[in-house]
Each structure stands twice: as C-alpha cells, then as structure tokens.
Amino acid sequence: MAEILISADLHDISVASPVNQASLSYWILKRGDRLMPSRCDLFPPEMIAFLPNIILLDVLQEPLDFRYRLVGTKITLQMLYTDNTGKTMRELVSKGQGPGSKIFGNCQQAVETRRPVAAKTPYVGKNSDFKSTEDIILPLSVDGETVNMLFVTAEFLDKAK
C-alpha cells in the first residue's frame, strides 16, 4: 500500500491506508481556502469509501473532553465491539481513552493546532488479527477558528502473526 504525503501548510501528514487517504483528501477538498471545513460541509453520500470507518467527536471544553457523536459500523462492529455513541473519552478512561492516553493526546493536538493529526495507535481491542490502527484526526469548525468537532477515520494496520 503506497503512502500519501501531504505537505505545505499541513506539516507533512503521511497516511498509508486508502481509507485515511480518501478522508484526508475529502477534508482538504471541503476546507477549500479556509483553515478547516465545518460539519455542515460534509455530505455522507460523498463519503461512501470511508463512511464505515468514521468517528465524529464533539469537542467539549473545561475540562477538555471528546464525546462520541457518531461511530461508523466498521469501528463499532470490528474494532471496538461496542457502540460508544454519546459517551465521552473521560467516561472511557478504564478502556484507555481518557487524558494521558495516546488517542486523547492526539485529539487534543488536533484541537490545539487546528491541523490534522495522523497517528499509528496500538490496537488493544478484541480483534486479535491486528496489532495497530492508523488514525487521521481532522478538525472541524463552525466559526473557522475554534475546533468544535473532530472528523476521524481509522483503519486496521499490521496484521498479527
């Protein structure tokens, strides 16, 4: 699988997964000449290639937290084996998602920098066929400045031997 490398104002974001390449390209298309697109710019019929891999997170402030607004079917059925819709990462600290976890830190970085964050995350779920996922965390904003939602896609990488 060939990696796509995006540079210039996006700080050399590199993703290998075709799913994450498609969502990153879509985000870039939708943002146009803005810092980031808004949630209302996203249209599910245009996202068929990566829709099952999507997570939408509301960004909550004081204290910073992330609430699962939407979780795609592949994430729910093959990665998490549960539906976290409506829950916050702080509620899921026992599952390794609260402050101090890699995923929370990556989401925080996307909020603070207002830029996409690509990460390879160790997979610790019930699907023993895989050992990691590649995530792309893409910020969204209603006002064009403040990140109020994160558009995330995740895909399995590295088959376990």
DSSP assignments along 63-128, one per residue: TTEEEEEEE-HHIIIIIISS--TT-BTGGGGGGT-STTSHHHHHHHHHHHH-S-EEEEEE--SS-T
pLDDT digits (tens, 9 = 90+) for 32-45: 989 999 999 999 99
Whether 54 shows a pLDDT value over 80: the answer reads yes
**What pLDDT score was predicted for residue 151?**
97
For the segment 124-142, the average pLDDT, to the nearest whole number, is 81
Backbone angles phi, psi at 142, to 5 degrees: -75, -40
Contact (CB, 8 A) for 108 and 20? no
**What pLDDT score was predicted for residue 102?**
87
Q: Which region, left, alpha or beta, applies to residue 142 given φ > 0 means left and ψ of -120 to 50 means alpha?
A: alpha
For the segment 146-160, the average pLDDT, to the nearest whole number, is 85
Domains of the chain, each with CATH number or no CATH: 4-159 (3.30.450.20)
pTM tops 0.75: yes
